[in-house]
Amino acid sequence: MLCKMGVGANSLLIRAVGAIIVLLGARFLYRGYLQRSRVRALKAQGIPILPHSLLFGHLRLLGDWRADNPPDANFYSFHTWLIKNCRKYFPDLDFPPPVVYLDLWPVEMQLALVFDPVAASQFTQTPSLPKLKLSTDFLVPLTSGLDIVSNEGIEWKTWRSRFNPGFSQRNLIAMLPALIEEVSIFASQLESLAGSEGKWGSVFRLDEKTINLTFDIIVRASLGMRLNEQQRAESSPLKIALLDQIRIMNYGANASRALPIGRMPWHNAAARVNNKKIKDLVMPQIQSKLQAESNDSQVKTIVDLAIKYIDKDDPSASREKPNAEFIDKLIANLKAFLFAGHDTTAATICFMAKLLQDNTECMAKVRAEHDAVLGPDPSEAAAVLTQSPHLLYALPGDFTRTAPGIQFNSAGFIDSLPDGRLGHVAIGSRSRTEPQLLAEAQRVHYPSDGHVPEGDPLHPVNNNAWAPFSIGPRNCIGMELALIELRIFAVLTARRFDIGEAWDKWDELQGSKATPNAKIDGERLYSSGDGIVHPKDGMPIHVRLREHSPAV
């Protein structure tokens, strides 16, 4: 009897599960059908579409890209790859159309890659379209969507304006001595790693060092805490917890994975543990800021300046009795800053060092400029700059633009197109999949000569193709900070060191694990990694001291 009942219940359960699976399967296929049809509809309107299969969408193209590139190539390199292979997929075009649709379902949501600055400005300025869900989902384990990177509308506006003063040029100039101090530590470490008597030193990964530097800087600038990642034997608990969190975030966003498997319940549990650790580590510092009397003559951190708004949402709140939601949002944003503010800048420093070293003419210009503005003795540069911060802005050539056709993009990745055409717009900033984008897509497709008459809604807002930090209201809040870091780095290293890639030494160290054939465009140094760009293998380099002979 009992036994029979058991079987009956079991078979009912099996049928129920079966029905759910069938329903889920049907929903899955229907979604796929919708995705594919959208792209077909665009094509029917005459918009250039990459070769598209009803079954595979553009997945074959993704396969082509993967086959052509090292397995750890970052998806950001897809853009430049498509430019090079344009004729293969768009037989009538030398350069991809302004907007390229990519239907990667079910591996990824549909993406639109923007290859044209005018089209890009349509997405970020008039108006700024909502951000790609892919990029805001990425931050959820870290911030639960409470940060300005993820927010939209009034919530974004309110908090962005609370943080703007901390990131302003004025405030950063006040912080300059602290920033110079951190980069000086970096420079003295570089000196200790340099070979003696003008010889190359031993090989190490530059990106590890620049990440420690930029992490020290963002924690100090936002919280006033000094972690000394650059000098301590082991990473600080804060850095360990944040890096572990980023590892977990990557599970949901891995463009190179074979199956669309997202984050699992145990990932979410681990994320909660990390979030608690991070909160416990930053809360004492926030507490002490809440308790301290506001002192106008002190250098203000980013958090100091945001705490001033403590009673704006809730008039009963005060420094003694803060509102819990305010504190949660403050911490969520702080975490977003620590995340967005370190490896982007660290990777950019690495690629800048490579570009300067590769472009001898450009490097000579930069060194001469430093001699002229800061005096001929490189060892005095930190002191001169600390005394006269404004000299940072007296360096006439913006070295990020001096070499023709070279641009930094949002992932700290640099594009070099011979004719200076825009080669790459960051997918994070410029690919927006919301329905508006699809509506916009039909308008964006204008004749390839780009001539749009004044008064037309597509008339260019500006022709600024240099947009590594994005343009418009949702541009990078940390742009000024990042540019200052890049400038100080250049000032304190360019004249004192030669920084050379050291792949031979690196391969030797790797032994049988060496990958000497992994190259993009013939370069061993390329953008790798799943999420944020990291220079391949952390950019193995060696360093030698230059003679202190100022250019006359």
Ligand X SMILES: *[C@@H]1O[C@H](CO)[C@@H](O)[C@H](O)[C@H]1NC(C)=O
Q: Is 295 in the site for ligand X (CB under 6 A)?
A: yes
Site residues for ligand HEM, 203-242, by CB under 6 A, read 218
Return the number of the residue (89 or 466) whose C-beta is nearest ligand HEM. Answer: 466
Q: Which does 148 bind (CB under 5 to 8 A by kind): ligand X, ligand HEM, none?
A: ligand HEM
Return the number of the residue (395 or 452) whose C-beta is nearest ligand HEM. Answer: 395
Candidates 77, 212, 274, 348: give the one binding ligand X (CB under 6 A).
212
We find the least distance from the C-beta atom of residue 474 to ligand HEM, in angstroms, to be: 4
Q: Vertex 207, ends 279 and 396: CA angle to 5°?
A: 100
Integer Cα distance of 403 and 400 in angstroms:
8
Site residues for ligand HEM, 315-354, by CB under 6 A, read 336-337, 340-341, 344-345, 348
Closest C-alpha to 468, from 402, 393, 413: 413
Return the number of the residue (47 or 426) whose C-beta is nearest ligand HEM. Answer: 426
Which of 30-38, 177-185, 249-257, 382-390 is the region at the interface with ligand X (rule: CB under 6 A)?
Answer: 249-257
Candidates 235, 357, 386, 416: give the one binding ligand X (CB under 6 A).
235
Q: Which does 229 bind (CB under 5 to 8 A by kind): ligand X, ligand HEM, none?
A: ligand X
We find the least distance from the C-beta atom of residue 167 to ligand HEM, in angstroms, to be: 7
DSSP strand pairing (540-545 vs 527-528): unpaired
Closest C-alpha to 310, from 168, 166, 162: 162
Q: Which does 236 bind (CB under 5 to 8 A by kind): ligand HEM, ligand X, none?
A: none
User: With contacts defined by CB under 6 A, how many residues of the chain interact with ligand HEM?
Assistant: 27
Q: Is 50 in the site for ligand HEM (CB under 6 A)?
A: no
What is the radius of gyration, based on Cα positions, of the chain? 26
Q: What would the DSSP string read from start to end of 326-376?
A: HHHHHHHHHHHHHHHTTHHHHHHHHHHHHHHHH-HHHHHHHHHHHHHHH-S
Closest C-alpha to 476, from 170, 149, 221, 217: 149
Query: What is the token pair recorded at 216?
Result: 């020290």
Candidates 43, 66, 160, 257: give the one binding ligand X (CB under 6 A).
257
Integer Cα distance of 76 and 407 in angstroms:
14
Closest C-alpha to 97, from 82, 77, 108, 109: 82
> Crossing angle, helix 133-143 and helix 265-291, to 10 degrees?
70
Kindly write out the interface string for residues 149-178 of this chain, putting x where it contacts ligand HEM by CB under 6 A and - elsewhere: x----------x------------------
Q: Is 360 in the site for ligand X (CB under 6 A)?
A: no
Q: Is 251 in the site for ligand X (CB under 6 A)?
A: yes
Kindly write out the interface string for residues 424-453 of this chain, putting x where it contacts ligand HEM by CB under 6 A and - elsewhere: --x-xx------------------------
Residues 6+ apart with CB under 8 A from 259: none
We find the least distance from the C-beta atom of residue 345 to ligand X, in angstroms, to be: 15
Q: Which does 530 bind (CB under 5 to 8 A by kind): ligand HEM, ligand X, none?
A: ligand X
Site residues for ligand HEM, 456-475, by CB under 6 A, read 468-470, 474
We find the least distance from the C-beta atom of residue 217 to ligand HEM, in angstroms, to be: 8
Q: Vertex 66, ends 61 and 70: CA angle to 5°?
A: 160
Return the number of the residue (317 or 490) whose C-beta is nearest ligand HEM. Answer: 490
What is the CB neighbour count within 10 angstroms for residue 214?
A: 27
With residue 527 as reference, give the H or E element that holds it: strand 527-528
Closest C-alpha to 173, from 552, 488, 524: 488
Burial class (CB in 10 A: 0-12, 13-18, 19+), 196: exposed
Which of 61-69, 116-124, 208-216, 481-489 is the region at the interface with ligand X (rule: CB under 6 A)?
Answer: 208-216
Sign of CA dihedral 52, 86, 414, 441: negative
Return the number of the residue (111 or 218) whose C-beta is nearest ligand HEM. Answer: 218
Q: Is 208 in the site for ligand X (CB under 6 A)?
A: yes
Which of 226-234, 353-361, 440-448, 519-527 is the region at the interface with ligand X (rule: CB under 6 A)?
Answer: 226-234
For 481: left if phi > 0, alpha if psi spans -120 to 50, otherwise beta; the answer is alpha
Residues 6+ apart with CB under 8 A from 427: 75, 76, 79, 111, 113, 132
Q: Is 207 in the site for ligand X (CB under 6 A)?
A: no
Return the number of the residue (413 or 506) whose C-beta is nearest ligand HEM. Answer: 413
Return the number of the residue (212 or 348) whose C-beta is nearest ligand X. Answer: 212
Question: Rule CB under 6 A: which residues touch ligand HEM?
Answer: 131, 135, 148-149, 160, 218, 336-337, 340-341, 344-345, 348, 410, 412, 426, 428-429, 468-470, 474, 476-478, 481-482
Question: Rule CB under 6 A: which residues touch ligand X?
Answer: 208-209, 212, 229-231, 235, 250-251, 254, 256-258, 295, 297-298, 530
